[in-house]
Every structure is written in C-alpha cells, then in structure tokens.
Amino acid sequence: MTLFRSRSRPPLSVRMRPKAFSEFLGQKHILGSGAIIAQILKADIFPSLILYGPPGTGKTTLALLLARAKQVRFIYLNAAVSNVRELRSVLLSARERFNKTGLRTMVFIDEIQRFNASQQEVLLPFVEEGSSIFVGASVENPLFVLVPALNSRCLVVELKRLSDQNVFTGLRRALQDKERGVDRDLEIDDGVLWAIAKRSDGDMRRAYTLLEMVCAGRDKVTEEDLERLTGKKVIYYDRKSDMHYDTISSFIKAMRRGDEQEATYWLSKMLYAGEDPRFIVRRMIIFASEDIGMADPNALVVAVSAYHALQVIGLPEAEFALMQACMYLSRAPKSPEVKERLFALKEHIEKEQTKVAKKFIQPN
C-alpha cells in the first residue's frame, strides 16, 4: 500500500458504510418484518422522518439506503454549517423538479437539532405539499429540540445504541473485506476487536476509527498497541456475563450499606469498562425509591436529574453527575417503607381480584 493511496482513500468508516439493508448492523426493532422501515419499503408512501439516536448507529446510512430503495434524489445538508438561504434554495429546486417531472427529493439534514425554530419552519410548506421528503437526524430527543409543527409532520424513528456484538461484527467485516476494509493481511486477535468494541460505546464510526489507527503501519496488532494508542488499559468486562450482574449487584449493595467508597469504586469500574451508563442510572433511580424512599424523597430527584444530565450532555462529562448521584444515594438514610407498602397493596389487590372473579364465574 503506497502512501499516496492511503492519503487518497476515504476513512474506513466511510468505506465500510453499508450498501444494502442486509449489511446494516443492529436496529432489528425498525428493520424487522412489520416494523416501520420495512413498512416504508413495502408501501408506496414515503413519509418525512426524524431519525433519532446516539452517534455512529447508522442514521445517515439509513437515509441513504432509503433514498436508493425508493429511487429518490438524495441531498445532504448539515445544520451545523448550513443556513436558511442554502436550505431554501435546495427546497425550491426540489419543488421545481417535482413540478416538472413528478420526482421527489429527499432533503436529509444532519444534526437538525442545531436549527432554531425559524430555520425549522422554513421546511413546513415544502413538507406539507410533498415536493420534498424531509429526513432529519438528531442525537437529541426531537420532542425537545424540534418545533411542534415539524414534529407533527414527521414519523420519529429511534435508533438504539449498537451492542458490543454488533460492533465486533462490523470490525470483523472490515478485516475480511479487502476492497473496502483494511486492505492487507493483519495478525490481530479477537480480544483486540472486543476491546475496541467496548471502548466505542456502541458507536460504529468510533470503532472503525480506532481500528484504522491501531492498524496503521503494523502487520501485527496486540492489546498493548491499543492501550498505547488510547492511553487506557484493557479491562475484560462482558455486559452479558455474570460479571455484569455481579458488579451491578455489588454496586447496589454498597449503596444500601452506605459504603460510599466501595459504591463509587464499582461505579467507576463499570464506566471505565464500558458498561451502558443508562443501565447504571436506571438502577440508581430504582434504588432511590426502593431503598431510600420516604427517608429522603429528594434522592429520587437527584437520581432522575443524573439520568437527564446523561441524556443532555452524554459521556464523559455526565460521569460527574453519575458520581454525584452515587455519593448522595450512599449517604442518604434508608427506608423500605415504599417497597413494603407497594408489595403489600399489590398482594391485597391480587387476592381481592381473585375473590371478585370467583363471585362471577359460574360452573358449567
């Protein structure tokens, strides 16, 4: 491989972009039989969409594949650098094309959350008349960042964070595909690929970037190479294994005992190892009501605020909010009153319903 060729080639993440739905990683909940994307592909209609989900989950790729499958022209805009003049020009051109030929244009706007209300409202008449198919991509919940009028004209399609297995599969493909992927033979252990997958936090673009960097100039890649590149030690932690459940259990038990030092240790280990932070904070919200409850009602407010902070700013900055919540929950007084009352009432209602049912059921 020459230096000139390496410079002229696009990044690995671009080269490995799926060319067909069969190559798409994850997202079975929207691609499976009867799901929303499958229905769009099967039907004659093509509604405007908001693709909402974490970075590197395939929002742009999904839009490209849809445009290709529905045979519509694809125009890409990024709200971070675009403006009203450019947007209006694209939409007017699409309208003129539609009026002359009857052919529609997909106007894909990446990072749509960066457009203010006035910019978003420029889209409304064009979406309404159907000359353009608007597809927006956002990492933020469209209910919070888009004007209601635009939200009401679009279907929201949520993409989920990719699993470690999804990312590992993508990395394996990049090593096997000599045309689009890493175009030379490499000696690389699966352990390195799993480590890259865990560090990518469900972001396929990030995973491809790490793979391309760690493979550059090497014929053999080791975990030590990855550690030197990222400055971070590889920790084996499988989200689906017993270690996953043992660690979260130790975390909860430490907070329950009020052992703040141990609880923060387990939190830090999970975050370092790549555990899904949403899973962690959801357990803290449950803990705030189940174990603390009325002994300190503010604990629930703190836990929910940590979840909101994670949604708004993401990692790594949200780690501060998670740590603060963990320390607060560990220090808070504990009371099982909420849990005990809930279980007692559920048991009472279940028995009550059984009695009512027996009253109305007559033997044959």
* Lowest-confidence pick of 24-38, 318-332, 349-363: 349-363
Same domain, yes or no, for 141 and 54? yes
Calpha distance 329→295 (Å, rounded): 11
Same domain, yes or no, for 69 and 141? yes
Last residue of a domain, one of 100, 129, 158: 158
Q: Which two tokens stand for residue 218?
A: 């090497």
101 pLDDT band, cuts 50/70/90, is very high
Domain containing residue 91: 27-158
* pLDDT, greater one: 128 or 137: 137
Calpha distance 188→221 (Å, rounded): 5
Instruction: Please report the pLDDT score of residue 50 as a whole number.
Output: 94
Same domain, yes or no, for 255 and 306? yes
Element (H, E) at 138: strand 132-138
Q: Using one digit for the tens of pLDDT, what is the confidence trace for 167-202?
A: 999 999 999 988 898 877 788 888 889 888 888 878
Which of 230, 301, 315, 227 lies closest to 270 in space, CA to CA?
A: 315
Q: What is the CA radius of gyration of the chain?
A: 25
* pLDDT, greater one: 273 or 145: 145
Which of 288, 286, 290 lies closest to 337 in space, CA to CA?
A: 290
* Lowest-confidence pick of 101-105, 215-219, 256-260: 215-219
* Lowest-confidence pick of 67-76, 169-178, 215-224: 215-224
Residues 6+ apart with CB under 8 A from 201: 161, 274, 315
Same domain, yes or no, for 220 and 292? no
Same domain, yes or no, for 150 and 134? yes
84 has pLDDT over 80: yes
Query: What SS3 class is residue 187?
Result: strand
Calpha distance 304→329 (Å, rounded): 12
Number of domains in the chain: 3
Residues 6+ apart with CB under 8 A from 272: 232, 235
User: Under a CB-based contact definition with an 8 Å cutoff, are residues 280 and 321 in contact?
Assistant: no
Same domain, yes or no, for 285 and 224? no
Instruction: Please report the pLDDT score of residue 270 as a whole number.
Output: 86
Q: Which two tokens stand for residue 65?
A: 């594949």
Q: Which two tokens stand for residue 302?
A: 């703190």
Instruction: Please report the pLDDT score of residue 269 as a whole number.
Output: 86
351 pLDDT band, cuts 50/70/90, is confident
Calpha distance 88→124 (Å, rounded): 11
Calpha distance 329→333 (Å, rounded): 8
Give the CATH number of the domain where residue 325 resides: 1.20.272.10
Mean local confidence (pLDDT), 222-251: 68
Q: Which two tokens stand for residue 215?
A: 């493979």
Q: Which two tokens stand for residue 74?
A: 């694809």
Q: Is residue 342 part of a domain?
A: no
Instruction: Please report the pLDDT score of residue 182 as a whole number.
Output: 86
Q: Is residue 1 part of a domain?
A: no
Instruction: Please report the pLDDT score of residue 7 as a whole number.
Output: 54
Same domain, yes or no, for 131 and 194? no
Q: Which two tokens stand for residue 7?
A: 């410079």
Which of 137, 131, 10 lies closest to 64 in space, CA to CA?
A: 137
Q: Is residue 182 part of a domain?
A: yes
Mean local confidence (pLDDT), 219-245: 66
Q: Is residue 77 part of a domain?
A: yes
Which of 52, 20, 53, 58 lies closest to 205 in space, CA to CA?
A: 58
Q: Using one digit for the tens of pLDDT, what is the confidence trace for 14-37?
A: 999 999 999 999 899 999 888 999
Q: Is residue 18 part of a domain?
A: no
What burial letters (b/e) apply to 92-120, b meaning 16+ CB within 10 Å? ebbbebbeeeeebbbbbbbbbbbbeeebb
Instruction: Please report the pLDDT score of residue 216 as a whole number.
Output: 85
Give the CATH number of the domain where residue 194 resides: 1.10.8.60
Calpha distance 188→175 (Å, rounded): 9
4 has pLDDT over 50: no
Same domain, yes or no, for 35 and 150? yes
Give the CATH number of the domain where residue 81 resides: 3.40.50.300
Last residue of a domain, one of 202, 230, 258: 230
* Lowest-confidence pick of 138-147, 207-216, 238-247: 238-247
Instruction: Please report the pLDDT score of residue 244 as a whole number.
Output: 63
pTM above 0.75, yes or no: no
Same domain, yes or no, for 154 and 168? no
Same domain, yes or no, for 255 and 333? yes
Instruction: Please report the pLDDT score of residue 37 as a whole number.
Output: 92
Same domain, yes or no, for 145 and 76? yes
Q: Using one digit for the tens of pLDDT, what is the confidence trace for 243-302?
A: 566 788 889 999 999 999 999 999 998 888 777 888 899 999 999 999 999 999 999 999
Instruction: Please report the pLDDT score of residue 191 as a whole number.
Output: 85
Q: Is residue 41 part of a domain?
A: yes
Same domain, yes or no, for 273 and 294? yes
Q: Is residue 323 part of a domain?
A: yes
